[in-house]
Amino acid sequence: MMKHAPPHLPARRAWRRAVVHAFIAGVLACAAGAEPALAQALELPPVRVLPRPAPALQAGADAAPAGTASGLPVSSTGVATLPDAWLLGSGQPWHHRVPARPGGAALQARAPTAQEAELIRRLETLLPRIDARVAVLVDDGRIVDAFGTGGIGWETRLLSASVAKTVTALAVGQAVCAGKLTLETRADTLVPALAGKALGEATLRDLLRMASGTTDPPPGDVMGTTAAESRLHLEGSGSLELLVASPSQSGAQAGASGPVRPGVRFSYKARDPYTVALMLERAVGMPAVRWVDEQLLAALPNQHLAILGTDRAGHFAGANGGVRLALADWVRLALHVQTRRGGNDCYGNFLRELSGTQIAAPLQPGVNGYFNGYGYYTWTDNRMAPDTFWAVGYGGQRIGWSTDATNRRIFLMFGNAADRHMQQVYPLAQAWIRLGTRDKLTP
């Protein structure tokens, strides 16, 4: 396995040697009537380190407003920022640690084609200018390239931000397919503290679509909780259950003709995945983090230590934004979604629903600048990257797949403050993913 922060030039030389060797092997293989070796697996290279040029690019539609009452970090100029202390941190001492599961299949790599190399050069130029830290390009289960601005290797744990919502949806899908609950299960049937409250009337399906019908957050706020509420209930003497049952979280949003009903309209906020985490815990009869550990992460399997955020009572508070996986295991998770989505079983059907539009998502500055739809904790109908669906996290965390289950391309990116530059990223990500469609059309 690679060192934590590989040097730039030796990594490039090793990769070039691998490409040359693969090319020579490909010539010999073609002469013998075999498949070209450039499509064959290579040893996983280290994450390449790019130089950091000046000037930064102009902000785009996902730029956050100045300041946030929820306590999420922002820069001195009001930009949504996930500093390294958050992105690369190890969470709190009480968070759930998932030991590494060695012995699983190693990730494989292949060299880029000439067409891919041109696109990679464009991404290499962009990445250091947008406060992104690392990008990984995957095709058909193999890593074609991985590069970043330094300090990140395959073993480096990276904070999910709201990509954790997608992780939560995956674990819930496993529970649904195990018969533990259904998409029509109401929250109050599993969380007694929500009895008689508007939030308790929401079904699992409503909550997975961010459609609980409860109070909207302030404009531009992606949480719907205050910093004080988070300190009390996620880090202090309170709990996740007390938080979602509180009047500020459990009441209905007022509409023009009365309270908004669950399932009617999209409203992005933390309480919906928090409630799903509590429902999952009660349905499976164990802490939700243990279910995620033993069902979802074991299925990858995670080959490095993972960290799942909890409150002090052990509830899965990380369901909204607190999952930490090694970069290599984020790739494994992305491959898990891609592989299982093509299945004809219950879980495959669930993942196809997860990846499709389940509710319209209005554009909202600081929350949603590019998507017209939402699945089950995924973003869909990207205006700049059609035919894709995305796991999206604060600060620039992104995993993108094709809506075509036979397209095997995946785009991953993690960063500090790249949200405001996604108008530059999505077209390149779309170009990468569309190569998978063209591959199918090539005889």
Q: Which residue has the tokens 């790739």?
A: 331
**Predicted local distance difference test score (pLDDT) of residue 7:** 38
Distance of CA 278 to the CA centre of its chain: 20
- 154 three-state secondary structure: coil
- 98 three-state secondary structure: strand
Is residue 21, in this structure, part of any structural domain at all? yes
Confidence grade of residue 20 (pLDDT, cut at 50, 70, 90): very low
Name the residue range of residue 190's domain: 8-441
Kindly report the average pLDDT of the chain as a whole number: 89
Q: Which residues are bridge partners to 359 per DSSP?
A: 374
Of residues 389 and 7, more confidence is placed in 389
The answer to whether residues 110 and 118 touch, using CB atoms and an 8 Å cutoff, is: no
Query: For position 403, which CATH number holds?
Result: 3.40.710.10
The two beta strands, 323-326 and 306-308, are antiparallel
Among 417, 321, 429, 323, residue whose Cα is nearest residue 385 = 429
Is residue 3, in this structure, part of any structural domain at all? no
* pLDDT(66) > 50: no
* pLDDT(74) > 90: no
Burial environment of residue 251 by CB neighbours within 10 A (0 to 12, 13 to 18, 19 or more)? middle
Q: What gap in Å lies between CA 41 and CA 44, rounded to an integer?
A: 9
The answer to whether residues 412 and 135 touch, using CB atoms and an 8 Å cutoff, is: yes
- 322 three-state secondary structure: coil
Is residue 2, in this structure, part of any structural domain at all? no
Is residue 1, in this structure, part of any structural domain at all? no
The predicted model gives 245-270 an average pLDDT of: 96
Is residue 304, in this structure, part of any structural domain at all? yes
The 10s digit of each residue's pLDDT in 323-346 is 999 999 999 999 999 999 999 999
Percentage of the chain exceeding pLDDT 90 = 79
Angle among Cα 135, 326, 275 to the nearest 5 degrees reads 100
Q: What gap in Å lies between CA 145 and CA 11, rounded to an integer?
A: 12
Q: What gap in Å lies between CA 179 and CA 117, rounded to an integer?
A: 46
* pLDDT(357) > 60: yes
Is residue 400, in this structure, part of any structural domain at all? yes
The answer to whether residues 62 and 366 touch, using CB atoms and an 8 Å cutoff, is: yes
Domain total in the chain? 1
